[in-house]
Structure 1
């Protein structure tokens, strides 16, 4: 697992820009604000650099494709290799999970005011009851911890966001590493999942998820 700050200096920005594909450059140029463009370039450029370290390739030689669900994958690896990855960013923080042989999902959520409608969209009926019973002082942390878990699971599932966040249901009283209580309403399916919490910054919640139980996080920074 890798983490980095997207607000890079000019020299690093220029170096990352040179490694991007034509499509990525076009997308970068569509950002209205310079800060957002620079963060996008820093995210994609560093992703390419890190994948290149694993594959012994220059960052510009990395070919990124997209599955039918829109999830990116690396098309530049030997046939016998199965490197999977997932990138997430929130404000200036980026986090990358790389795995060997199984799909992985990661999500980072900066703490911010909770929009009134969001708990209704994110939580199941049972989760919503737990959330409503929480003291006001605890709600922000619990909400974004839960959101990061669900997003990470959906990204690991590889189906994009066709499924609603309520597809994965958690016990909101459990903090840190956990397993979903239900997946698609089934406890048996939930037992196949593992969700690990990241605590690198007090200003955000983050989680890594995979549909397997025998894995752990190795911090590479």
Structure 2
């Protein structure tokens, strides 16, 4: 793995149509898939788990079905290391049929992707989940650009809390991210201003109609993308 953080994207519907994905999964993953309410959700979950195993297997040079996973103290999935499998960090996000994966050898990593759908009361939703300064910046943006700005903010916040390992237990109003169309993503932690300097936020290139972001605890990390899992 030449990069510190490697990112790959997969069209889950295309992957599921191209080849069987269930055989790569462990018994507990197949059981989880069976609990989804619809066939489409079951198929996408199965394809996402297969794409995660396939990508990590290629990066680590091991068979995909040799990988074992566990949950951290706050439920974040992690890879179980063995003498032949190093303890790398990874994260997964998916929205509709698009999934994004990240593998890091330089510390915690989090990703998020969201399909951009209209939101009826944007200001109210921002009031529930954004900090005061983020709400002000959002409502100061041009009305025609406000929806995209909202999703840039949301994905960057979500990527950070996922990377932190505590998820939504991290109070969303206790940190700020920048999300202007022409400004680089940055992070400010209200209760630990100096600690924010250790984190890096980036927007991820993604298909039209989506927004995506990555957070990693290494400002010098080299983030690269790769076409690891063929979906056709």
Do they superpose with TM above 0.5? yes
Higher relative contact order (CA 8 A, sep 6+): 2
How far off its partner does 1:27 sit? 0.9
TM-score by length of 1: 0.91
- The structure-2 alpha-carbon separation of the partners of 1:206 and 1:10, relative to structure 1 and needing over 3 Å to count, comes to closer
Structure 1 counterpart of 2:91, from 79, 86, 91? 86
| Residues 74-93 of structure 1 deviation map (CA, whole Å, 9 limit, x = unaligned) | 11443883311001111111
Aligned to 1:96: 101
Q: Is the 8 A contact 1:55 1:77 kept in 2?
A: no
* CA RMSD after TM alignment: 1.9
Q: Secondary structure at the match of 1:51?
A: helix
Q: Aligned equivalents of 1:4 and 1:172: distance in 2?
A: 25
| Residues 105-137 of structure 1 deviation map (CA, whole Å, 9 limit, x = unaligned) | 110011011252321122111111111122221
Aligned to 2:9: 3
- The structure-2 alpha-carbon separation of the partners of 1:127 and 1:194, relative to structure 1 and needing over 3 Å to count, comes to same
The number of aligned residues is: 218
How far off its partner does 1:11 sit? 5.0
Structure 1 gaps, min length 5: none
How far off its partner does 1:9 sit? 4.1
Aligned to 2:25: 20
| Residues 5-35 of structure 1 deviation map (CA, whole Å, 9 limit, x = unaligned) | 00034452x2x20111111111111111111
- The structure-2 alpha-carbon separation of the partners of 1:83 and 1:24, relative to structure 1 and needing over 3 Å to count, comes to same
Q: Is the 8 A contact 2:201 2:216 kept in 1?
A: yes
Q: Aligned equivalents of 2:151 and 2:83: distance in 1?
A: 38
How far off its partner does 1:57 sit? 2.2
Mean CA deviation greater in 2-11 or 41-50: 2-11
Aligned to 2:230: none
Aligned to 2:144: 137
TM-score by length of 2: 0.87
| Residues 128-149 of structure 1 deviation map (CA, whole Å, 9 limit, x = unaligned) | 1111122221111000000000
